[in-house]
Structure 1
Amino acid sequence: MTSQAADRPETVGTSRRSKITPEREQEFFDAVLHQIRECGYDAVTMDGIAASTRCSKSTLYRQWRTKPQFVAAALRANRQARFAGIDTGTLAGDLR
């Protein structure tokens, strides 16, 4: 009985993990890019993104383990749509 109880939480935890929709993912990415534009990279936090998108930090950390991974994913997802043709000569300028 003890071994079954030990196995069950792992199974339940794995099966309960839900995927985020592409629309929700884009909402997260938009929030990241907005914070970068407004405050700069250093001011972007998982807490801030979670608060602005009304989700838990664990939702964000399940998808992106670190802030740099999250920011890179947001930039990759939006580079063609939003950054096409932008080249000011600096990354900071391009992001603004």
Structure 2
Amino acid sequence: MAPRKQQEIFDATLRLVAEKGYAGLTVEGVAERSGVNKTTIYRWWPSKAALLGAALVEADLLGFTAPDTGSLRGDLVALVEGVVRLLSEPPAADVAVAALGAAVEHPELDARRFFADRFAREREIFERAVRRGELKESVDPMLVVDLLAGAVWIRSVFRGVPLPDGFARDAVAAVLDGVG
């Protein structure tokens, strides 16, 4: 399948789940929006869960490149700012909240693939920091990412609290420097 057509299918999938939730996501609806026959979609993805799982990882809409500012602190601030944008700017915010929220209720979506893919890309930040001598090898990168991304999710999605200017910088400082 042509990459452009695949992106159109993924885009239609993510926008449909954002509008109608997982229950309202259908392969027929995706086919109609993307201009592709549903049998073509089923040839590549055997179910709507498989299609949404692939869209979460492969769609340009949720694309991610690990920042490289030259320092651990700068990279982490840029990473947190990216998570803030992901969860606050439409249409990505609507998609991320709906799709990843659906994964909690529907384990067949296997959202672990989305998070594993993201973390594989984020790991570069920590590997560079270790090479530069900014971070001990014993530091658990996943814990750091979970603390920072979790803070954004809790505040912006679960509490619905607007994030102030400087939130990313302050969150990174709390993790790297401590709060005491």
Shorter-normalised TM range: 0.5 to 0.7
Distance 1:24 1:55 in 2: 8
Indicate whether 1:56 and 2:37 are aligned: yes
Number of equivalenced pairs: 71
What is the SS of the residue equivalent to 1:55? coil
User: Normalised by the size of structure 1, how large is the TM-score?
Assistant: 0.65
Partner amino acid, structure 1, of 2:63 = Q
Aligned to 2:17: 36
Give the C-alpha shift of residue 87 in structure 1: 5.7
Distance 2:12 2:87 in 1: 22
Give the C-alpha shift of residue 80 in structure 1: 3.2
Cα root mean square deviation, aligned: 1.9
What is the SS of the residue equivalent to 2:63? helix
Structure 2 runs not aligned, ≥5 long: 65-81, 89-96, 102-156, 158-180
Identical aligned pairs, as a percentage? Answer: 32
Aligned to 1:46: 27
Indicate whether 1:66 and 2:26 are aligned: no
Structure 1 runs not aligned, ≥5 long: 1-19
Distance 2:39 2:47 in 1: 12
What is the SS of the residue equivalent to 2:43? helix
Distance 1:55 1:65 in 2: 15
Distance 1:33 1:46 in 2: 12
Distance 1:29 1:43 in 2: 16
Structure 1 segment 13-32 matched on structure 2, within 5 A:
20-32=1-13
The structure 1 segments of at least 4 consecutive aligned residues displaced by more than 6 Å after TM superposition are none
Distance 1:58 1:21 in 2: 16
Distance 1:77 1:53 in 2: 16
